[in-house]
Amino acid sequence: MTAFRPALLSFALLLSACASTPTALPPPAMTATAATGVHDNLNATLWMQSAAEYQAATLGSYAQARQSLDAALADTAINALPVSEQSQGFESLPPAIITDADETLIDNSPFQARRIRDGGDFDPATWAAWSNERKARAIPGAVAFAQYAARRGVTVYYVTNRDHASEYQATADNLRALGFPLAEDNSNLLLRGDPRAPGKEKGERRRLVAKDHRVVLLLGDNLGDFLDGVGGDVAARENLIAPYADWWGSRWIMLPNPSYGSWESAVLKACGEQPATACKREALRYD
Ligand SMILES: [Mg+2]
């Protein structure tokens, strides 16, 4: 029981654009009990796979993104990066969008469903096998938006924390097959460990794009898709985003992801070695 906490955290960190590489593999865990049919991720995964409400939310996000893009293209003073990543001299640069991939553009819920079916916690080998299947589907609204941006002369940069060494080609193939605009040399695809900007957090890759582009919009499903330093506790994360309250829905578009992310790591951080499900129950508010 003590071993699955690091594994669960690693899973959230890997897929949610944070700073850690998965470490030790866990034994079958309390969060994934195939024998009892209980799994922490059941409702979230089912919602993302079957709810018209989820489709409505993502379509709405991309409709908002299109409006924000139009506004930014009409006003070269608009910039979507934190001041530490781009602060001046950007007005005459060509426009770019920076977007996350997993659970922002593409849907990995079958991987979550397999975890629920098979039990056990996150396993990097199982994740790599899934991503190399190249079967992730597009999230509703994502392809049309990316193609619209490209038609308007905006370069779409895909900044994902999928692993450059083991997932680069599969990720490029998957995105391209779905119709996302990729340069012939994949130069607008930046995975974790890209030699051009090898930092684990995404800020370095955002700054790389900002060297010769005005970044007009960020899209993601996790705070790390917008800001570095998101690995704090729940209160620290609230403080981190406070200065950017007006950016959501305009410069920054957040897609819903109740299934995993650094939000989950932040909750578990408070519980030490306590089992994850018990930790989550204790984190609930009752009034
Ligand atoms: Mg993501």
Q: DSSP string of 111-133? A: HHHHHHHH-S---HHHHHHHHHH
pLDDT digits (tens, 9 = 90+) for 4-63: 343 444 444 444 433 333 333 333 333 444 445 578 999 999 999 999 999 999 999 999
CB 34 within 8 A of CB 117: yes
- Cα(24) to ligand 1 centroid in Å equals 22
Ligand 1 center–CA 104 separation, angstroms: 6
- Lowest mean pLDDT segment, chosen from 117-121, 169-173, 191-195: 117-121
- Indicate the domain borders of the chain: 4-283
3-state DSSP call for residue 39? strand
* Six-digit token string for 223: 């705070």
With contact defined as beta carbons under 8 Å apart, do 151 and 171 qualify?
no
CA of 102 to the centre of ligand 1 (A): 4
Q: Which of 8-12, 177-181, 197-201, 252-256 has the lowest mean pLDDT?
A: 8-12
Higher pLDDT, 274 or 169: 169
Question: 101 C-alpha vs ligand 1 centroid, how far in Å?
Answer: 6
- Per-residue confidence band for 183, with pLDDT thresholds at 50, 70 and 90: very high
Task: Please state whether beta strands 95-99 and 214-220 pair in parallel, antiparallel, or not at all (unpaired).
Answer: parallel
- Bridge partners of residue 95, in order along the sequence: 214
Task: Compute the distance from residue 213 Cα to the ligand 1 centre, in Å.
Answer: 23
pLDDT for res 37:
58
Residue 228 has pLDDT above 90, yes or no: yes
Supply the pLDDT for residue 84: 86
Q: Tokens for 123?
A: 């396993």
Sequence-separated (6 or more) residues with CB below 8 Å from residue 81: 206, 210, 215, 218
Instruction: Say how many C-beta atoms besides its own lie within 10 A of residue 192's C-beta.
Output: 24
State in Å: Cα 287 to ligand 1 middle: 31
Measured CA to CA, the distance from residue 69 to residue 71 in angstroms comes to 5
Report the pLDDT value the prediction gives residue 8, as an integer from 0 to 100.
46
Report the pLDDT value the prediction gives residue 1, as an integer from 0 to 100: 27
Q: Whole-model pTM?
A: 0.89
Give the Å distance between the CA of 92 and the centre of ligand 1. Answer: 30
pLDDT of residue 38: 76
Q: What is the mean pLDDT of residues 83-91?
A: 88
DSSP 2: T
List the single range of 14-28, 138-152, 183-197 with lowest mean pLDDT: 14-28
Distance 117 CA to ligand 1 centre (A): 22
**At the top level of CATH, which class does the domain 4-283 belong to?**
alpha beta
Confidence (pLDDT) at 243? 96
Q: How far is the CA of 161 from the centre of ligand 1 (A)?
A: 8
Say how many Å lie between the CA of residue 224 and the centre of ligand 1.
Answer: 9
32-33 vs 38-39, strand pairing mode: antiparallel
Question: How many whole angstroms from 179 Cα to the centroid of ligand 1?
Answer: 18
Give me ligand 1 centre to Cα 218, in Å.
Answer: 12
Kindly give the distance from the C-alpha atom of residue 281 to the centroid of ligand 1, in angstroms, as a whole number: 25
Count other C-beta atoms under 10 Å from residue 1's C-beta.
12
Task: Measure 202 CA to ligand 1 centroid, in angstroms.
Answer: 12
Q: Which of 23-32, 59-68, 183-192, 231-240 has the lowest mean pLDDT?
A: 23-32
> Residue 103 C-alpha to ligand 1 middle, in angstroms?
5
Ligand 1 centroid vs 157 CA: distance in angstroms? 14
Residue 254 has pLDDT above 60, yes or no: yes
Judged on CB neighbours under 10 Å (0-12, 13-18, 19+), 185 is exposed
- What are the angstrom distances between the C-alpha of 181 and each of 22, 95, 150, 172, 267? 30, 15, 7, 10, 36
Lowest mean per-residue pLDDT among 37-46, 136-145, 202-211: 37-46
Measured in Å, residue 245 CA sits from the centre of ligand 1 at 20
Question: What is the DSSP pairing of strand 155-163 with strand 189-192?
Answer: parallel
What distance in angstroms lies between residue 111's CA and the mean position of ligand 1's atoms? 14
What pLDDT is attached to residue 20?
33
Q: What is the mean pLDDT of the chain?
A: 89
Q: What pLDDT is recorded for position 36? A: 54
- The contacts of residue 266 (CB under 8 Å, 6+ apart) are 231, 232, 233, 234, 236, 237
